[in-house]
Amino acid sequence: MLPPFYQICFQQQLKKAEYLTLTILVFLLQIRKQVSIELLATLMPYPIMFESRRRSVQRFLKLPILKIEKLWFPLIKYILRTQFKKKQELKVAIDRTQWRDKNVFMISLIWDKRALPLKQEAIILKKATLVTTA
């Protein structure tokens, strides 16, 4: 489950149904580790057809509120205010992974054995040129 202050921050940011969907998805991800949208839709406890559950998960994951800037920044600001002293060093990780034809760069704040995302960028590899998307 989510730590209490995550729950408080997310409840303030999300509608009730969105918060419930988020907690269910987090629970499923904690159990399964590697998943696809189809597997998540299969495991979702909604009494609707599989295809409707799959579309529901897809729509949820595309919500503008789930962007790092909107959902995570209030949480990160809360963590910085409550868990760090002034002038305390912060650990930041820069990670790159390749996914299909994209290089995904992620910058995260390291706190309590967790990596909290600050920024991500996907660079699409197209033949001899690079095109960046945010």
Residue 128 — pLDDT band, cuts 50, 70, 90?
A: low
- Give the residue numbers spanning the domain of 98: 87-134
Average pLDDT on 56-60 reads 92
d(Cα 72, Cα 108) in Å, to the nearest integer? Answer: 11
Q: How many folded domains does the chain comprise? A: 2
Query: In this structure, are 2 and 62 located in the same domain?
Result: yes
Determine, yes or no, domain membership for 102. yes
Looking at residue 108, what is its pLDDT?
Answer: 92
Q: Beta-strand (E) ranges in the chain?
A: 91-99, 102-111, 114-126, 129-133
If one compares 34 and 89, the residue with the highest pLDDT of the two is: 89
SS3 93: strand
Q: HSE on the CB side for 18, CA within 13 Å?
A: 15
Q: Are residues 2 and 41 in the same domain?
A: yes
Please report whether residue 73 resides in a domain: no
Q: Identify the band that residue 82 occupies on the pLDDT scale cut at 50, 70 and 90.
A: confident
CA distance linking residue 58 with residue 51, whole number of Å: 11
Same domain, 7 and 44: yes
Q: What is the pLDDT of residue 127?
A: 61
59 with 22, same domain?
yes
Residue 58 forms part of a structural domain: yes
Helix (H) or strand (E) holding 35: none
Mean pLDDT of the chain: 86
